[in-house]
Amino acid sequence: MKPFGLTATALSVVALSATAAAARDQIQIAGSSTVLPYATIVAEAFGENTDFPTPVVESGGSSAGLKKFCEGVGENTVDIANASRPIKESEIEACTANGVTDIMEVRIGYDGIVFANQSSGPDFAFTPADWFNALSAKVVKDGAIVDNTAANWNEVNPELPEQAILAFVPGTKHGTREVFEEKVILAGCEESGAMEVFAAEMGDEDKAEEACMTLRTDGKSVDIDGDYTETLARIESDPNGIGVFGLSFYENNTDKLKVATMSGVTPSTETIASGEYPVSRPLFFYVKKAHIGEIPGLKEYAEFFVADELAGPEGPLAQYGLVADPELASVQEAVANETTLSE
Amino acid sequence: MTDIPMSSEAQPRSNSLLSQDARTRKRNATEKRFRMYGVIAIGIAMAALVILLTSIVSDGAGAFRQSYLSIPVALDAETLDPNGNRDPAEMSKVLTLSYGKVLDKAVETAVADSGIAIEGLTSSDTSNLISKEASAQLRNHVLANPEQVGQTVDFNVLVNGRVDGYFKGRVSMESAARDANTSPQQLQLADALKEQGELVTRFNWNFITNPDASDQRPEAAGVGVAIIGSAYMMLVVLFLAVPIGVAASIYLEEFAPQNRWTDMIEVNISNLAAVPSIVFGILGLAAFINFVGLPQSAPIVGGLVLTLMTLPTIIISTRAALKSVPPSIRDAALGVGASKMQSIFHHVLPLAMPGILTGTIIGLAQALGETAPLLLIGMVAFVREFPAAPPEGLWDPASALPVQVYNWTQRADPAFIERASGAIIVLLIFLFCMNLLAIFLRRRFERRW
């Protein structure tokens, strides 16, 4: 029975070495694909400038990352979750249920969400109300709630070009989708006065909000579940398409994309930092405090990330498109003190 | 056949071989049509292959060539060694960002010295000419040779991805005018430097040997870690799947009784071969990471998952190879007094070996190209540290070739598209070599009866 003996030996070797090589010496990170480029820039610099190994950074979306993060404490769980939205109450509960109690929240800066079409296309100057009237499933016409039938942008707002409505918006697994719904569609709903009509009709504010944020499903609004590269490819193949991008992605592809203004403001790191450009959101990463001291370099990495040299307005992250946090000093202090969410 | 005399008055018979009747003509025409369909089918397949290969090669060939700039760098003692002790431990406190400033100055001086004057050239155009990787390269060099601080050293640094793309035809003057990350002036400067011979585009070994790089330096990214990760996983698959698969098939084929149980096992193996690979990833996450406690992103877990995925392929092809050995060989061995075990190991197995090897290699090649199961076990990640030598290295995080392709296609910088196609070329070369080996082994050891 020679082959069986061989297999048994091979298996026992695997089992033996599994127990031998247990200690992990590099940081494991998972989460948002929006934060990924910043995290890789920091991870690379961290590996180059310190004696710690370069952290391993996975992507896959904020929700997927936080789910992995909350799986438990121990060497085979991730140490840090990147997120393009704050952690939800339900996720904190899931964490607590699995023994992940002390979570440090670190805000690294702000990211703008921009709207862009092909660089050869017409110029667009949007307001949130335009987006609501173009993409919402139900709109208000002459005081009555009707199905959205707008086919061209100039039907929504006569000042917009006569171009068929075709929007590529992030899919629901992306953190960007929530920001888009909240800061563009919902804001537009309120701005256009449709919110009041919805609320009066449904008698409930929450239901009205939900009605505002329900996008039409007749093919004018296309969910993109992949990354911004997919949105870019869709826009390149369809001259009518308008896509939702992160500011840093747009800044890396300015030769192919033309950015639209929102409420008259052109998106840039400056206009987002000053708050003039309305569609922006904070970016975070979450650190498992129980792993500090267990995984070498974990706290150093968190401190390195928010150091002025990296996350400051002159640092490489700002160069890549991150809007530096004006309150970076207090973030640095919180990281140094290992302040957790519950404190 | 023209020498058969044909008398003019004799009517050719209807069943003559020389003149075809209607039915024969129809049958021949059908055959001709069928052959034509075959040729068309092959033609379509070949055209698809040619289109695929040309698009990959034309996109990816650029990754194997890279532009470098040689500049003298004055290693400013005050910035790089503020304490003046030339002690590498103290000097390591100086971050790459300071080295970046030293390099910016060096490039500006080099451009000023070269006497190139371009209207509208800004200082950021000049300093952005070189890759951000250069500061890390310089820092490592200085920490290794601290005595050189204060001197001027000649350096060969990578050129920024946009400028490099200009020499590869990816970036044009028109697109540069619209691009926030480069400018026509910068490209003119690069052209002038190239004419002077300071800037050269040459073969890029670093693409094979370097690890992945962050989004800011696509020009420095390579497939080194991915190749090692893939190789480690293949090792694990080879050491686990082959013995287990061959043992299982010998038992099932030669020893197992024919009953309901073995029938069920057989059906299950055939089913497993058709299970989508992502299912094995889910299993791997649950069994190897959450239950056994193996580390994330490690080639050992990837290898185990791929082993499960490859086993059915190996078992099916091994059983087919064993079945194709004629029973007369077994009968002859048993007839001269060999035990069943001896007849199998001395006679049947060696004769089935070419088939087993071919099946194994095809199974391995299939495993090499797999991404989906690796997604769930954390191998689709940004990994820059090379894993240690095996066996310990099997527990270190690593990436894999198909994963690297997947990762790079999602990056914002267009230079990564070229890298992704380059990685596809590397992957195809590996697959090609493995398939070639399979064909070679089959030809070399095949026995016909």
CATH of the domain at A32: 3.40.190.10
Q: Are strands A167-170 and A221-224 parallel, antiparallel or unpaired?
A: parallel
A312 within a domain of the structure (yes/no): yes
Candidates B214, B243, B297; nearest CB to A44: B214
Domain count, chain A: 2
Q: Count other Cβ atoms within 10 Å, centred on residue A335.
A: 21
- Specify whether A65 is located in the same domain as A195: no
- Specify whether A97 is located in the same domain as A130: no
- Specify whether A145 is located in the same domain as A105: no
Give the minimum alpha-carbon distance from A22 to chain B in angstroms, rounded to a whole number.
8
Asked if B410 has any chain A CB less than 8 Å from its own CB, the reply is yes
Task: Detail the DSSP E strand segments found in chain A.
Answer: 28-31, 56-58, 80-83, 103-118, 125-126, 138-141, 144-147, 167-170, 221-224, 242-246, 257-259, 261-262, 280-288
Question: For A342, which DSSP code?
Answer: T
Q: How many residue pairs from chains A and B have C-beta atoms closer than 8 A?
A: 143
Q: pLDDT digits over A313-330, tens only?
A: 888 898 888 999 888 999
- Specify whether A260 is located in the same domain as A293: no
Which residue carries 């799947």 as its tokens?
Answer: B241
Share in percent of chain B as helix, strand, coil (round to 5): 65, 5, 30
A11 within a domain of the structure (yes/no): no
- Specify whether A239 is located in the same domain as A143: yes
- The model's pTM: 0.86
A62 within a domain of the structure (yes/no): yes
Tens of each residue's pLDDT in chain B, 449 residues: 455 555 555 555 556 677 778 888 899 999 999 999 999 999 999 999 999 999 999 988 888 999 999 888 888 888 888 887 788 888 888 888 888 888 888 888 888 888 888 888 888 888 888 888 888 888 888 888 888 888 888 888 899 888 898 988 888 888 888 888 888 888 888 888 888 888 888 898 989 999 999 888 899 999 999 999 999 999 999 999 999 999 999 999 989 888 899 899 989 999 988 889 899 989 988 899 888 888 888 999 999 999 999 999 999 999 999 999 999 999 999 999 999 999 999 999 999 988 898 899 989 998 998 888 998 888 888 999 899 888 888 999 999 999 999 999 888 888 898 999 999 999 999 999 988 988 888 888 877 66
Residue A115 to residue A137: CA distance in whole angstroms:
20
Question: For B409, which DSSP code?
Answer: T
- What range defines the domain where residue A131 resides? 112-280
> B410: which chain A residues are within 8 Å (Cβ-Cβ)?
33, 59, 226-227, 229
Among B355, B368, B367, B360, smallest CA distance to B430 is for: B368
- Specify whether A267 is located in the same domain as A118: yes
Q: Are strands A242-246 and A103-118 parallel, antiparallel or unpaired?
A: antiparallel
Q: Is B449 helix (H, G, I), strand (E, B) or coil?
A: coil
Q: Count other Cβ atoms within 10 Å, centred on residue B4.
A: 6
Domains and CATH numbers, chain B: 65-204 (no CATH), 224-445 (1.10.3720.10)
A10 within a domain of the structure (yes/no): no
Asked if A263 has any chain B CB less than 8 Å from its own CB, the reply is no
Q: Which two tokens stand for residue B274?
A: 């058709």
- Specify whether A268 is located in the same domain as A295: no
The helix (run of H) or strand (run of E) holding residue B74 is strand B65-74
pLDDT along chain A (343 residues), means of 10: 47 48 79 90 91 89 88 88 90 91 92 91 90 88 84 88 90 83 89 84 82 87 87 90 90 89 89 87 92 90 91 88 89 90 77
Q: Which two tokens stand for residue B153?
A: 């050293």
| Cβ distance of B384 and A320 shorter than 8 Å | no
Q: Which two tokens stand for residue B97?
A: 């960002």
The helix (run of H) or strand (run of E) holding residue A181 is none
Give the minimum alpha-carbon distance from A131 to chain B in angstroms, rounded to a whole number.
25
- Specify whether A328 is located in the same domain as A270: no
Cis peptide before A55 (omega within 30 of 0): no
The residue out of A280, A304, A323 marking a domain boundary is A280
A184 within a domain of the structure (yes/no): yes
Give the minimum alpha-carbon distance from A147 to chain B in angstroms, rounded to a whole number.
36
Under 8 Å between Cβ of A86 and A56: no
- Specify whether A151 is located in the same domain as A86: no
- Specify whether A46 is located in the same domain as A57: yes
A60 within a domain of the structure (yes/no): yes
A16 within a domain of the structure (yes/no): no
ipTM score of complex: 0.84
| Burial of B64 per CB tally in 10 Å (0-12, 13-18, 19+) | middle
Q: Is B10 helix (H, G, I), strand (E, B) or coil?
A: coil
Q: Is B5 helix (H, G, I), strand (E, B) or coil?
A: coil
A12 within a domain of the structure (yes/no): no
- Specify whether A119 is located in the same domain as A264: yes
Q: Is B262 helix (H, G, I), strand (E, B) or coil?
A: helix
The residue out of A234, A253, A280 marking a domain boundary is A280
Asked if B240 has any chain A CB less than 8 Å from its own CB, the reply is yes
Residue B48 to residue B42: CA distance in whole angstroms:
10
Opening angle at CA B418, ends B413 and B420, nearest 5 = 90
Which residue carries 């075809």 as its tokens?
Answer: B20
Under 8 Å between Cβ of B232 and B398: yes
Cis peptide before B391 (omega within 30 of 0): yes
- Specify whether A135 is located in the same domain as A168: yes
Instruction: Give pLDDT, residue B6.
Output: 52
Instruction: Give pLDDT, residue B180.
Output: 80
Residue B382 to residue B375: CA distance in whole angstroms:
12
Asked if B235 has any chain A CB less than 8 Å from its own CB, the reply is no
